[in-house]
Structure 1
Amino acid sequence: MKERIERLKKLTYIPQNEIAWLIEQAELAVKQREIIEENKRQQEVTVHQFRQAQKDIQQLSGDRKRYKQALEKIITNLNFAITVAQNELEGDA
Structure 2
Amino acid sequence: MKERIERLKKLTYIPQKEIAWLIEQAELSVKQQEIIEENKRQQEVTVHQFRQAQKDIQHLSGESRRYKQALEKIITNLNFAITVAQNELEGAAE
Q: Same fold (TM over 0.5)?
A: yes
Deviation at 1:22, TM superposition (A): 0.3
RMSD (Å) for aligned C-alpha atoms: 0.7
Give the C-alpha shift of residue 11 in structure 1: 1.1
1:4-30 C-alpha deviation (Å, 9 max, x unpaired): 111111111111110110011001000
CA–CA distance in 2 between the matches of 1:82 and 1:17?
95
What whole-Å deviation, never above 9, does each CA across 1:40-74 have from its counterpart, x for those lacking one? 00110111111111111111111111111000000
Q: TM-score, normalised by structure 2?
A: 0.96
Map 1:73-88 to 2 at 5 A: 73-88=73-88
Aligned residues: 93
1:91 shift after superposition: 1.2
TM-score of the pair, normalised by structure 1: 0.97
Q: Any gaps of 5 or more consecutive residues in structure 1?
A: none
- In structure 1, the partner of 2:10 is 10
Q: Counterparts of 1:44 and 1:52 in 2: how far apart (Å)? A: 12
Structure 2 unmatched ranges of 5 or more: none
Cα deviation for residue 92 of structure 1 reads 1.2
